[in-house]
Amino acid sequence: MTEHAAGVVLSSLTSLHPVLARAADSSPMADLPGFQIIPPRPAVERLEFNFPNLYLHRGFSGETQNQLGLGDKEDHIVGALAVNNWPVYDRPGPGDDATVVARVQGLHVKSGDWHGSFTMVFHSGSFKGSTLQVMGIPVDSGNWAIVGGTGDLAMATGVITKQARKLGKTNSILKLTIRGFCPIH
């Protein structure tokens, strides 16, 4: 796009919307060659996905351990860090002919509440190789935000709802309901 054409696009857009005009005038980027403020495209077709019955298994110690605290900080001190590689099954327990369909891999940091940043990697089914990027507080109930994804779930948004199914001293099982949207590619 030529500099003249970029200016025409910018002036056409800013004449349509006063907020765009103020943004264009006050933006430090406005002086850069080729700078544009482009209104969003019309609604994009989106795919809704829903996984209502998945089960995340957390092991804190012993044979089923799949998360580990790092460093010498205690878990109640700000700055404590833990990494995890939690399996997600299609049924409540591994003994029920359950299959690992995904893994939730990432870390959580104590910063007041625990903050978690995870990648849910799908290992089987039609979403094999796709991921969801997940953030939130890694507790036994509530929600995590889906803030992105890759593969068939590229640019996903949504929510993962967690419900405690079993809470123990060495492990726990959380029922997950995943609901989200992603653009149709």
User: pLDDT (tens digit, 9 = 90+) per residue, 63-112?
Assistant: 889 999 886 666 667 888 899 999 999 988 767 789 999 999 999 898 88
Phi/psi for 50 (5° steps) reads -145, 120
Q: What is the pLDDT of residue 148?
A: 97
Asked whether 71 and 81 are in contact (CB, 8 A), the reply is: yes
Domains in the chain, please, with CATH? 1-39 (no CATH), 46-183 (2.40.480.10)
User: pLDDT (tens digit, 9 = 90+) per residue, 44-54?
Assistant: 788 899 999 99
Amino acid identity of 161?
T
> Is the predicted pLDDT of residue 4 greater than 60, yes or no?
no
